[in-house]
Amino acid sequence: MNTRAAFDERRYTHSVTNTLPQFWARFGGLPDVAGKHVLDFGCARGAMVHTVLEAGAESAAGIDINPDYISFATAKHADQWSGKAQFIYGDIREETLEPADIITSCNVMEHVMALPETLAALVQCAKPGGELFIGFSPLWHSPFGHHRLMETRLPWAHLPRKNRAFLDRLIDDEGNSPESIQELGFNGATPADFRAALKGLPVEIISARRNVATHPLKQLAMKAMLAPSLIPALEKYVTIGIYWHLRRTK
Ligand SMILES: C[S@@+](CC[C@H](N)C(=O)[O-])C[C@H]1O[C@@H](n2cnc3c(N)ncnc32)[C@H](O)[C@@H]1O
């Protein structure tokens, strides 16, 4: 196995055994997917599709804008989930997908550039009455919102000088650094931006929670951290993650 393939396998296994169990624990457990059609937005290597099919989903589709991930996911699941799993490379705003009973999305929304339009398109993919589980962290302005792309233990060290503190450390072979965080795949959206994107969409909010942890002590610390968000200007600096459980209304 070459280095790239081995890396993909390791990341896939990490998602199946670590990232996704934690994701579902934050929503109180995997919902009943038996006999349902599930759509995973930002599916990467297909770990969520595999997870829900193992849990009894009738069929599952994953969509992602990275063609390499879709190739990996397709090859990885071709035998085990033949006829049940489908992986789509494309922009959800331009695709017509089978309406889903359940939509999932783990750690994607902080990377989506056309946020309001993409979220609206995602909601349209749910059947009326269908449920959406959308969770994402860490948000850009939170203490380590750079996704550990910067080697520092100092919280918020990436934000000074309009993010140049972060960007200037990423110098390529020709001595250039990126112009913006968007070039690196971060949309930089704040909690207020996410709320605005959700507003007006045909969904009922079953729960909308911030800074959810699975360990009780960590949960206490995460909630305490939200105290400064009573001052609206500080909210974006202390909101690490957002977890929406929604139901499409019409
Ligand atoms: C941090 S990864 C998370 C992958 C996976 N959901 C998981 O939890 O392991 C973010 C993923 O979102 C995808 N992505 C970003 N913007 C997207 C968009 N507009 N449409 C679909 N996928 C997108 C990326 O290509 C990447 O696979």
Q: What is the pLDDT of residues 36-73, one digit of tens each?
A: 999 999 999 999 999 999 999 999 999 999 999 999 99
Peptide bond preceding 138 in cis form (omega within 30 of 0)? yes
Distance, in Å, from the CA atom of 23 to the CA atom of 31, rounded to the nearest integer, reads 12
Whether residue 1 is predicted with pLDDT greater than 80 in this model: the reply is no
Read off the pLDDT of residues 156-181 as tens digits, 9 standing for 90 and up: 999 999 999 999 998 888 889 999 99
**Mean pLDDT across the chain, nearest whole number?**
96
Residue 206 has pLDDT above 90, yes or no: yes
**pLDDT at position 2:** 85
pTM beyond cutoff 0.95: yes
C-beta of 19 in contact with ligand 1 (< 6 A):
yes
Q: 47 with 19: CB under 8 angstroms? A: yes
Task: Summarize the confidence of residues 131-151 as an average pLDDT.
Answer: 96
- Is the CB of 47 within 6 Å of ligand 1? yes
User: At the top level of CATH, which class does the domain 3-155+186-248 belong to?
Assistant: alpha beta
Report CA-CA distances (Å) from 111 to 28, 48, 72, 118, 190: 25, 18, 20, 11, 12
Output 29 or 172, whichever has higher pLDDT. Answer: 29
Ligand 1 centroid distance, CA of 69 (Å): 9
Residue with CA nearest ligand 1 atom 23: 42
Per the structure block, which two tokens stand in for 152? 């520092």
- How many angstroms separate the CA atoms of 193 and 163, rounded? 18
Task: Tell how far the Cα of 230 is from the centroid of ligand 1, in angstroms.
Answer: 31
